[in-house]
Chains A and B, each alone.
Chain A
């Protein structure tokens, strides 16, 4: 630690930190544009010039290392003169169009010009004009003339997003921010550039000119999408969410949010919103009031319970629902005598039900990811499923950590990957066994006898032994299971091996939570093995169709592991009650549609993947007749005479269900009482399906976010194959082929992807184009159709080179 004096205040700061850091510690504000605490130093705006005693000229505070005994003056005559001079230069080319600028009112340049700008300009010559570039559906560069070349957006791309999509071309007066040959900015974190831009050069395309910043009221909330639980500020105008920006929380999302968190709000105001309860009578949908709708549901459930038995009632909920909703859903079901409730819609292996120590979670605080030095990431479309967790791992790798990947698809993670084993889905378990065996040898450690016996027969490949070698060199190892691994038909065995691997390295073992409330849903008891009444899991409920289904935010053709099976169960049911914020496919098979509200219109709680419960209030009033699902469930409970349904507030529900103190002992990844067996996964003949859930298809809200749906990531999925498999099938990139699974087929365009393993075919799930297909894993058949026309949709996996033969 060194001592430095800033404006007469003595501050202690770390050796190697800058004058800017010290000023922050002292609470002294130094004006700046290009400096950002999360980005590298570039010192190109010169706004932070300060006077340092004994230095011959003003120095930039952001790039000057603090030295012991240094005396800094940030507001001396020299410093202010320098700052004013810089300000005048910055304003030379900056248009003075604040009244019509979208950034007006929240502009760093505008604010600082108030303090340091002149009353009038001495510059009378022509100003520089920059032609706007088209860089995609999310960010507008229409007013690029306002750019002051701070390069924050460029550095964000390089350092945080991991891909340099924007850069500064040309130089001097001609320098301008652009993308390569007008290519679009496709990073899943790109929206942060809008926040970073200190002027109005990069603006939000969906939000532009819809509100002035001072018209917006700011309401804190929590992201309903991925398992991270990013802290959000919903900006509200006229009772509508007008935009979403991050709220800084260093322990969770730092100061970033993903594009999904940022732009999904468009789905809140979607024309597909369900605004009134609806009942189907004689095949026709009619709008009704709440009372008859709920009566109808209660009567229906009562009838089925008394005629067929309560076990014929089933409830499915997405883990994007709030804790309160999930808690009441399971309480209602159990109250009427059925334990058939589940949130694990895309899971297929339930053999650890009741044997897991607690809710599956990350196994460590999110912030600890940055400190890990070895990663083993198993079965994860990391960047698309967990954009900001991927970013944290990227930072760790930048600081020397090694990332090891075991997966069925080799997507570009935009970070150096130390070792990877890219294998067909049915080899996942075997590959982990190899890693475990090699690691035990490497560490000269003894495995438990049963484990030893199970892995004895596997042959260690070079890739597995390289991974083991990397892991054994680590001090802080993190073994993380992605969504793909959790959805795998052998997920439990995979988890057992992963736990063994992390145990050998004395590391952490965790699940990357699929959804905002995956942990919360478990804690709420929305699983068939919790509480006093046990029941069927999500797969069983569909395999043995029930007579009544309660769907909470679920779109079965998109949210389920096996949409084919789910849809036939829905069609066969006597009663399907869809509690949904949207009119969706349920119109075809449901009997009642109950309009419930999305996260922005209710209070609730999400428990994120690190087990942190975050409650939020409704930011806007429920739309039209829509109501929070917890209220709907409460009334249903009352109508069905279930005791203990007299809640006045969501907080009361939470207080009953979630004892927030000491959540830790309710989390637990350890599975006891399941024997390890490295069995081959069924039939491995034919092509094995590898299915991702595309980032903008993952939940009901984002599916209706108009701008996100126009991005490359939302393109209609293609069927991806290795070149050699294409040769075998005799198909070319761009051909339309028939993709069959079970008794249905869909037409998809072929795309060559040589990073896929042999014997695998990648067909996305969760998308209407593939909703007719079966399980997310399994054999898939490809036959060439007659048409070879090239559909217009561009299919592309970001960061992968896409070849068209």
Chain B
């Protein structure tokens, strides 16, 4: 079941679209689910489909098309490192390597305590700040160095 909060958020989103085109809200709906649960299960997809009057498969198509939807449980904090061209030229490989050692996990994995998840991401459209990663798809951290990464991790650890 979608929580009351998610339903309320989706209903607000639906006001932006014609009444007979509820499926326009599918991307937002999936985002609300992920914001609350950290990831989107196939059950959640069914719930979203039922809520918006879509086919289950149509929701799955959207959820699997876009990279920023987590289709398996990720950590409380998910760090997504851009590994596209600009970032790689500016040292994204080192960023990934450093995160891997610091967190003790590989890409697509979650720390044992469930605190951190690490993902590889696609271009965030902020190449001037390369190399960079996002935190839970919300906060962008750029011009990364190992020191800066340590600082951010320490900060996240406290919160």
Contact = CB atoms under 8 A, between A and B. Distances in A.
B57 A180 contact: yes
A167 interface: yes
B152 interface: no
B89 interface: no
A179 interface: yes
A166 B61 CA distance: 10
B114 to A, nearest CB: 25
B60 A180 contact: yes
B64 A170 contact: yes
A166 B64 contact: no
B97 interface: no
B58 A167 contact: yes
A181 B45 CA distance: 11
B110 to A, nearest CB: 21
Interface in B42-60: 42, 45-46, 55-58, 60
A171 B64 contact: yes
A663 interface: no
Interface string A179-210: 11101000000000000000000000000000
B142 to A, nearest CB: 26
The A contact surface, by secondary structure, is mixed
A42 to B, nearest CB: 13
B18 to A, nearest CB: 14
Contacts of B58: 164, 167
B153 to A, nearest CB: 31
A800 to B, nearest CB: 13
A147 to B, nearest CB: 15
Given A171-B65, A180-B60, A164 B55 contact: yes
Interface in B19-46: 42, 45-46
Contacts of A164: 55, 57-58
B61 A169 contact: yes
Nearest to B63: A169
Contacts of A169: 60-61, 64
A165 interface: yes
A86 interface: no
A751 B107 CA distance: 46
Q: Which of A158, A163, A180, A181 has the most CB of B within 10 A?
A: A180
A91 interface: no
Contacts of B45: 180
A166 B57 contact: yes
Contact of A181 (B42, B61, B65): B42
Contacts of A181: 42, 56, 60
Contacts of B55: 158, 163-165, 167, 180
Nearest to B61: A167
A168 interface: yes
Given A180-B42, A181-B42, A167 B57 contact: yes
Contacts of A158: 55
A158 B56 CA distance: 12
A180 B56 contact: yes
A253 B42 CA distance: 37
A165 B56 CA distance: 8
A158 B57 CA distance: 11
Nearest to A171: B65
Interface residues of B, number: 11
B61 A168 contact: yes
Contact of A165 (B46, B57, B61, B64): B57
B61 to A, nearest CB: 5
Interface in A123-163: 158, 163
A173 B43 CA distance: 26
Contacts of A179: 57
A304 B60 CA distance: 68
A762 to B, nearest CB: 23
A553 B61 CA distance: 47
A472 B57 CA distance: 38
B65 A170 contact: yes
Contacts of A168: 61
B51 to A, nearest CB: 13
Nearest to B20: A416
B65 A167 contact: no
A626 to B, nearest CB: 45
B42 to A, nearest CB: 5
B156 to A, nearest CB: 30
A166 B65 CA distance: 15
A166 B45 CA distance: 15
A165 B46 CA distance: 13
A5 to B, nearest CB: 39
Contacts of B56: 180-181, 183
Nearest to B67: A171
Contacts of B57: 164-167, 179-180
B122 to A, nearest CB: 11
B1 to A, nearest CB: 14
Contacts of B65: 170-171
A170 B62 CA distance: 8
Contacts of B61: 167-169
A167 B60 CA distance: 8
A171 B63 CA distance: 11
Nearest to B42: A181
A168 B46 CA distance: 16
Contacts of B60: 167, 169, 180-181
A165 B55 CA distance: 8
11 contacts: A165-B55, A167-B57, A167-B61, A168-B61, A169-B61, A169-B64, A170-B64, A171-B65, A180-B56, A180-B57, A181-B60
Interface of B: 42, 45-46, 55-58, 60-61, 64-65
Given A167-B60, A179-B57, A180-B46, 12 more contacts: A158-B55, A164-B57, A164-B58, A167-B57, A168-B61, A169-B60, A169-B61, A170-B64, A171-B65, A180-B42, A181-B56, A181-B60
Q: Which 4 A-B pairs have the closest CB atoms?
A: A167-B57, A164-B55, A180-B56, A169-B64
